Structure 1
Amino acid sequence: MIDTLGDVLRNNAYKFPNENAYTYSGRHVTFAQHAERANRLASGLWKRGIRRQDRVSILAQNTLEFMEAYGACELAGYIAATVNWRLAPPEILYILTDSTPRVLIFEAQYAGVIEQIRDRLPHIETYLCFGGAVPAWAEDYEAVLAAGDVEGAPSRPTPDDIMHLIYTSGTTGRPKGVMRTHRAEIAIGILMATELGLIVSDRLQLMMPIFHVGARFLQIGVHIRGGSVVLHREFKPAEIVETIVRERVTMTHMAPTMVQAVLSVAGIDEADLSSLHTICYSAAPMPVPLLKRGLKLLGPVFLQLYGMTEGGGTTLHKRQHKPDGTPEEIKLLGSVGQAAPNVDIRIIDEAGTELPVGEPGEILIKTTSQMLGYWNNSAATISALRDGWYYTGDLGYLDEQGFLYLVDRKKDMIISGGENIYSREVEEALAAHPDIQDVAVIGVKDEYWGETVRAVAVVNPGVTLGEAELIEHCRSLIASYKKPKSVVFVDELPRLPSGKVNKVVLRQLHGAPAAAGA
């Protein structure tokens, strides 16, 4: 019986001990080898006082050690609390303070970042370092793992235990910790396996950050089926192509910007990509010219998924990608597909009334893979989860066949290069500049990134402030990818009678793509 992610790991080690669980930087790790190291790590943590449902935070890029840390939590019932390595030190401090982990497993390259904030993290009792020089205040990851028992820790998770605590930004600018149970992760893994048609012989390539749910959900899906993961530390287009050819990758996962970069790799037309049967994309629609180019080179391989950290959503299947089809078929490319199995979707107005076909409103989702709630944030949980439905904050409409079309985002979220950026968070960083009187942030269309961040700012009287200076100011406060790419200076911001910035007018005035002038 597969009730928890620990069961998945043990099942694969039993059934397929000598098959590859992971391929990474030329290394091949079998399911039996991965299970042994995950068990030893779970035991090592237990010997340091970590118990079931204690938080184990992980700060690292995609590595085998990251997957072993996940494995230890899967087996012993610890909560894996991931940290986005792209965040600035104040953001990392907030997450580690909110999640209160007792242990932090980190890659050596982040020792300097941790050193800056460590004196404000008294609840972290154990630091485990890998991948380089170990600081005096940390323990060596490999030594802790080697001293662990091969039988693992004496604890096991239950299906309703929390498996993941993954932080996602909100409209307040403060990240929210999404609690996801083992039961929900098994459900999302089965959904992924079903929607993508995963089978035991599949070799899934992952280069998206594994601290995000996108890559993690797909990894769970392929391992539920007993397939293999080809893991990349980071996205390097030429390396992605070389790996598909060498490892005979059957499926990969990218944001549309990544697809564009891969299709621009020198020699791509001559590369043997015949093993590839599916490219799963998410985070943004696929531009039609890019889709046509990809279909011409690779055939009908594209599949779109729409979802969020809080739960799964919809699929636009490969057979529904017809850029040269009828007007009706071409229109479908602007949708994010239809509800996946075990997913229900409703569209409601501000009063909570369900809206008819074609009328936009807030998107509600009900699914077996739904989150448990937000960590330490009952108000946000109550607002988001009502009567079994998750209120996404996204605005969209359904057509007659249940295809979902996104039209706006209530939360002012900007999607740039597959990363979610929230306006309020950027606005707070900009407002911290002493010469800024008023500021608002919007997303502007960009052919490569999908959207980029633009600040519209009012400076204090008599002050001259340059675009580059204001953008650079954000570097120490928020992650680099969240910084504005452009700034427009104005005398005042348009406002609603309530006093809030009128972002509809703001986009009309200053939302033209960069190529058209700011």
Structure 2
Amino acid sequence: MKDEEVTMGWGKTHDWLAHRTAVTPDSTALIEAGDGTEWTYADVDSSVEETAGKLAGLGLRSGDHLGVLMETRLASVLLVHAAMRLGCVLVPLNVRLAVPELRRQVEHTDLSVLACEAETETTARDISGTVPVVSVDVSTDTTLSECERTEFDPMVWSRDDPQVMLFTSGTTGNPKAVVLTMGNLLASATASAFRLGVLPGDRWHLCLSTYHMGGLAPLLRSTLYGTTVVLESGGGFVPEETLTNVRTYDATGISLVPTMLRRLLDADDSDGASRLDSLRFVLLGGAPARKELIDKCETCGVPVCPTYGMTETASQIATARPEEAFEHRGTVGRSLMFTDVTVIDDSGSPVQAGESGELVVAGPTVMAGYYGNRDATEDAFGEYGLYTGDIGYRDDTGRLWVLNRRSDRIVTGGENVHPGEVVTVLRDHPAIRDVAVVGIEDEEWGERIGALVVPMADETVSLESVRAYCDGRLAGYKQPRLLEATDELPRTPSGTIDREAVRERLRYDS
């Protein structure tokens, strides 16, 4: 047999759901936490086939870009799988963003269709421009269920085919669409399984939004593994509901950001057994986990797995198992299978164990690039792989320790915010002459957004007026929570903003 034939035989595949359904059609694929409705893989596959046919009726074809402006629910799950069946690139959009932010993302990603729900339809039509909008709910215009179904040829995927585009704030504040291939997502799911393990009865409780990698990854991985997703719908995080659902449906795994985990532990104050006792792992990412939170997990018997990852690597780069997390507070564990992490100094040379430097990542999970931004893609890669912009070190046992996040980025409640976005909006405020924005350490949110402002002459600026001005211009989580006025911003000898001095001023005044 020729090498070319061997490559074609092993290098091509249909969508994961189709293969999974052929292997275990009667296994439970999904449970809707609201009413306990169970869906087998055959059930989901049938609905996905119908959904894909409706999308094909709208003209969607392989290679087209399908935008989705929805919270996590059954209909959005079907769209994820339908996009893969058609061969469309899925572009999930964050429903929490302001209209101007979403409009820029729609313009940047060359969408062919934008799918929405009743709650987001007005916004979808506002941001869509010339892009057709279709709602999964009853609509006054185009409703997906009413679209004519068209026959289509299922996509035959190769590992290099783009499958998902997810936005990341990056290091410049400009929106960047990370292109993840089918191979990236497959490698990530495989490596995660090697670290966390997979059991036949596993149930991954999904309460993160699928417009973040932390919410999308469990949905795709569970399909590959043949395990069950417990779907918590509706948007918003209610700790008491999540605790009840974890207990009711015997969830064995869950992905959370530190703020969510802290709230769960605070709410789980029953006199009897913890409502989290069915869990065998809590994958904790999105922001650094404080020592106090890890301490509480150990005390409460919660199997926390601190992880370090990024959208550009399809989620996890390194993950610590619970025993490692408890014994070595602060580590994110060793890098995952097939992922190489190099620590480099300012000259780009690798450093020895114990020495800190920038973390650079290489391996099959690393993105194909930033969509429509060749310069940013080229700048992101070097001799040893993808520059993360994060500073850390590897100890002499190979464990990774992340010391600082990217230079200016703020992580609040698991959401990434670049100060430049906030500064741009606040500088347009009629009463503000200049402003500096930084993250201030916060026990509840990880960081709060703080703004030090220089008012215009004879003007007074309040936090309330600034937040009111930001409504409709910035997502709520990007708006300042702390604000102080000053006559002049602190600067370094070179004239740049002295960010640490800004933080000290805001900490002192708060």
- Among 287, 292, 295, which residue is 2:295 paired with? 292
**Residues 1:172 and 2:172 aligned together:** yes
- Among 314, 318, 321, which residue is 1:317 paired with? 321
Report the residue type matching 1:443 in the other structure.
G
Report the residue type matching 1:205 in the other structure.
H
Residue 15 of structure 1 corresponds to which residue in structure 2?
23
Residue 222 of structure 1 corresponds to which residue in structure 2?
222
- Among 445, 448, 455, which residue is 1:452 paired with? 448
- Among 303, 307, 310, which residue is 1:308 paired with? 310
- TM-superposed CA distance for 1:102, in Å, is 0.9
- Corresponding residue SS for 1:264: helix
- How far apart, CA to CA, are the structure 2 residues paired with 1:250 and 1:269? 22
- How far apart, CA to CA, are the structure 2 residues paired with 1:18 and 1:359? 52
More deviation in 244-253 or 401-410?
Answer: 401-410
- TM-superposed CA distance for 1:280, in Å, is 1.3
**Residues 1:495 and 2:499 aligned together:** no
Show CA shifts across 1:366-393 (max 9, x none): 1211100000101110011224600011
More deviation in 372-381 or 405-414?
Answer: 405-414
| Identity value in percent | 29
- Among 390, 397, 405, which residue is 2:393 paired with? 397
- Corresponding residue SS for 1:500: coil
> CA distance change for structure 1 residues 148 and 19 in 2, over 3 Å: closer, same or farther?
farther
Residue 376 of structure 2 corresponds to which residue in structure 1?
380
Residue 326 of structure 1 corresponds to which residue in structure 2?
none
- Among 250, 253, 275, which residue is 1:251 paired with? 253
> CA distance change for structure 1 residues 488 and 4 in 2, over 3 Å: closer, same or farther?
farther
- How far apart, CA to CA, are the structure 2 residues paired with 1:4 and 1:288? 45
- Among 327, 339, 344, which residue is 1:343 paired with? 339
Report the residue type matching 1:215 in the other structure.
G
Residue 468 of structure 2 corresponds to which residue in structure 1?
472
- How far apart, CA to CA, are the structure 2 residues paired with 1:280 and 1:33? 28
Q: Where does the alignment leave 5 or more consecutive residues of structure 1 unmatched?
A: 323-328
- How far apart, CA to CA, are the structure 2 residues paired with 1:110 and 1:230? 24
- Corresponding residue SS for 2:157: coil
Conserved in 1, the CA contact under 8 Å of 2:286 and 2:415?
Answer: yes
> CA distance change for structure 1 residues 342 and 266 in 2, over 3 Å: closer, same or farther?
closer
Conserved in 2, the CA contact under 8 Å of 1:88 and 1:479?
Answer: yes
Matches within 5 A, 1:24-63: 24=32, 25-26=34-35, 27-63=37-73
Conserved in 1, the CA contact under 8 Å of 2:390 and 2:405?
Answer: yes
Residue 160 of structure 1 corresponds to which residue in structure 2?
160
Conserved in 1, the CA contact under 8 Å of 2:54 and 2:145?
Answer: no
- How far apart, CA to CA, are the structure 2 residues paired with 1:273 and 1:23? 18
- TM-superposed CA distance for 1:458, in Å, is 0.8
- TM-superposed CA distance for 1:511, in Å, is 5.0
Conserved in 1, the CA contact under 8 Å of 2:16 and 2:223?
Answer: yes
Residue 6 of structure 2 corresponds to which residue in structure 1?
none
- How far apart, CA to CA, are the structure 2 residues paired with 1:37 and 1:13? 12
Residue 242 of structure 1 corresponds to which residue in structure 2?
244
- How far apart, CA to CA, are the structure 1 residues paired with 2:11 and 2:252? 28
Conserved in 1, the CA contact under 8 Å of 2:325 and 2:332?
Answer: no
Residue 206 of structure 2 corresponds to which residue in structure 1?
206
> CA distance change for structure 1 residues 422 and 9 in 2, over 3 Å: closer, same or farther?
same
Show CA shifts across 1:414-446 (max 9, x none): 111111111111111111212211111111111
- How far apart, CA to CA, are the structure 2 residues paired with 1:440 and 1:200? 51
- TM-superposed CA distance for 1:207, in Å, is 0.5
Show CA shifts across 1:88-128 (max 9, x none): 0001100100001111110111122123334xx22x1x322
> CA distance change for structure 1 residues 70 and 392 in 2, over 3 Å: closer, same or farther?
same
TM-score under structure 1 length normalisation: 0.91
- Among 120, 123, 133, which residue is 1:127 paired with? 133
Conserved in 1, the CA contact under 8 Å of 2:463 and 2:480?
Answer: no
- TM-superposed CA distance for 1:267, in Å, is 4.9
**Residues 1:425 and 2:433 aligned together:** no
**Residues 1:481 and 2:483 aligned together:** no
Residue 195 of structure 2 corresponds to which residue in structure 1?
195
- How far apart, CA to CA, are the structure 2 residues paired with 1:356 and 1:253? 33
Conserved in 2, the CA contact under 8 Å of 1:39 and 1:153?
Answer: no
- How far apart, CA to CA, are the structure 1 residues paired with 2:439 and 2:304? 26
Conserved in 2, the CA contact under 8 Å of 1:198 and 1:222?
Answer: no
- How far apart, CA to CA, are the structure 1 residues paired with 2:427 and 2:271? 48
